[in-house]
């Protein structure tokens, strides 16, 4: 496969995962009254963006997809933070996976991503949204979302690896 075809394939796959991240973030939203945010399933797809696309493309797909979900769901105040936080989550999970290139790397990357999410939203809600110490009230909800994202991402990845078509298609980003 030529380099041009590989780049187009990566771009198309990035767009597909960005759309999936948007949908999974919007499908189930459990409001967190303490901060005005919500728990969702999008972090599982953020991890898939990291592990199957990686680098800048994976970070862009994760950030754009989840940011769009915020904008379309009436949480536009979170959109800038979501873009940065989810992109950073994907970059960290990708870098750790790339270092270990194993399931252990996926697990460690997922935990690092969850910690980035919790810290990022805590800082955003505390400093930018002006909640101060009140932002700490969201920690239990962010722990649930982080755990759900880790488990969901790992389970989806394992299921995808079992499908021959998906396995061959997905490994274009694991470089």
Residue range 75-114, pLDDT digits in tens = 999 999 999 999 999 999 999 999 998 889 999 999 999 9
Q: What pTM was computed for the model?
A: 0.89
Cα gap 73→161, rounded to integer Å = 32
Q: Scanning the structure block, which residue is given the tokens 């982080």? A: 146
Domains identified in the chain and CATH numbers:
3-170 (1.10.1760.20)
Residue 129 half-sphere exposure toward CB, CA atoms < 13 A:
23
* Torsion region of 39: left, alpha or beta (phi above 0 gives left; psi -120 to 50 gives alpha): beta
Of 165, 154, 173, residue with least CA distance to 43: 154
pLDDT at res. 2: 58
CA distances from 112 to 89, 94, 107, 117, 130 (A): 7, 10, 9, 9, 26
According to DSSP H, which parts of 28-78 are helical?
Answer: 42-52, 55-72
Q: Check whether 67 has a pLDDT greater than 90.
A: yes
Mean per-residue pLDDT for 2-24? 87
Of 16, 13, 11, 4, residue with least CA distance to 168: 13
Cα gap 96→102, rounded to integer Å = 10
Q: Check whether 140 has a pLDDT greater than 50.
A: yes
User: Comparing 58 with 34, which gets the higher pLDDT?
Assistant: 58
Q: Are 140 and 33 in contact, with CB atoms under 8 Å apart? A: no
* Torsion region of 130: left, alpha or beta (phi above 0 gives left; psi -120 to 50 gives alpha): left
Cα gap 18→36, rounded to integer Å = 24
């Amino acid at each position: 496969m030529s380099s041009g075809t590989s780049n187009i394939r990566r771009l198309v796959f990035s767009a597909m995962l960005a759309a999936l991240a948007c949908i999974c973030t919007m499908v189930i939203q459990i409001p967190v009254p303490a901060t005005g945010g919500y728990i969702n399933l999008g972090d599982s797809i953020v991890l898939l963006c990291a592990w199957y696309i990686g680098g800048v493309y994976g970070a862009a797909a994760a950030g754009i997809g989840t940011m769009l979900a915020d904008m379309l769901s009436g949480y536009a105040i979170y959109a800038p933070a979501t873009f940065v936080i989810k992109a950073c989550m994907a970059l960290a999970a990708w870098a750790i996976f790339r270092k270990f290139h194993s399931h252990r790397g996926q697990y460690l990357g997922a935990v690092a991503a969850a910690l980035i999410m919790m810290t990022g939203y805590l800082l955003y809600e505390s400093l930018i949204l002006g909640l101060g110490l009140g932002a700490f009230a969201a920690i239990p909800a962010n722990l649930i979302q982080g755990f759900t994202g880790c488990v969901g991402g790992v389970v989806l990845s394992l299921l995808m690896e079992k499908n021959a078509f998906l396995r061959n298609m997905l490994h274009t980003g694991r470089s």
